[in-house]
C-alpha cells in the first residue's frame, strides 16, 4: 500500500471519506493505521466532542485515529474489515474511485449506537453492537 493509493475527499455517506486511487484485490491491506496516538483516560475526557468519534480501542488501550483511517465511513455493506486492530483489509475486490467503508458495529460498546445513512440496499438504519 502506497500513500497515494487512497485519497480523502467529500463523501455522500458523511463528511469526508476515503476513496481508492487504484484497484485493490480481496485480502489486500487498504489502510494501515497510525497507532502512535495512545490516549490515557484523562486525555480522552479532555478531547473536544467532535474528536471523540475518532477514539478507537487498540490492544486494551485507546488511540486517537489519524488521517486517513479516521475518515473511513461506516457501511452496512462494507468493502473492508479491521484486522489485528490496526488495518483495514479488503473483504472483496475494490475498484478505483470506490469509497473505502467498514462496519462499525463490531467496535461498538453494548450501549453505543448511531444512525446510519450509508445508502446501501441492506442498510440497518441504526448501528449498534449486534
Residues in the chain: 130
Domain boundaries, the chain: 3-128
Residues facing 55 on adjacent strands: 64
Grid cell locating 32: 494501515
* Candidate ranges 55-59, 75-79, 120-124; pick with highest mean pLDDT: 75-79
Residue-wise DSSP of 37-87? -B--HHHHHHS-GGGGGGEEEETTEEEE--TTGGGPEE-SS-SEEEETTTE
Give the per-residue pLDDT at 109.
67
Tell whether the model's pLDDT for residue 125 goes beyond 90: no
What does the pLDDT look like over 38-68, one tens digit per residue? 998 889 989 998 898 898 888 888 999 999 9
Tell whether the model's pLDDT for residue 1 goes beyond 80: no
Tell whether the model's pLDDT for residue 2 goes beyond 70: no
Give the per-residue pLDDT at 108.
67
Q: Could you tell me if 21 and 6 are in contact, meaning their C-beta atoms sit under 8 angstroms apart?
A: yes
pTM, two decimals, is: 0.88
- For 3-128, give the CATH class: mainly beta
Amino acid at each position: 500500500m502506497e500513500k497515494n493509493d487512497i485519497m480523502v475527499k467529500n463523501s455522500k455517506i458523511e463528511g469526508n471519506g476515503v476513496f481508492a486511487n487504484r484497484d485493490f484485490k480481496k485480502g489486500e491491506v487498504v489502510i494501515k493505521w497510525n497507532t502512535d496516538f495512545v490516549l490515557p483516560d484523562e486525555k480522552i475526557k479532555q478531547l473536544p466532542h467532535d474528536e471523540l468519534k475518532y477514539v478507537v480501542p487498540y490492544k486494551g488501550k485507546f488511540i486517537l485515529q489519524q488521517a486517513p483511517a479516521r475518515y473511513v465511513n461506516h457501511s452496512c455493506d462494507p468493502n473492508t474489515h479491521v484486522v489485528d486492530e490496526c488495518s483495514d483489509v479488503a473483504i472483496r475486490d475494490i475498484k478505483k474511485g470506490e469509497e473505502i467503508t467498514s462496519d462499525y458495529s463490531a467496535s461498538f460498546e453494548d450501549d453505543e449506537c448511531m444512525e446510519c445513512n450509508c445508502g446501501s440496499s441492506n442498510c440497518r438504519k441504526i448501528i449498534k453492537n449486534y
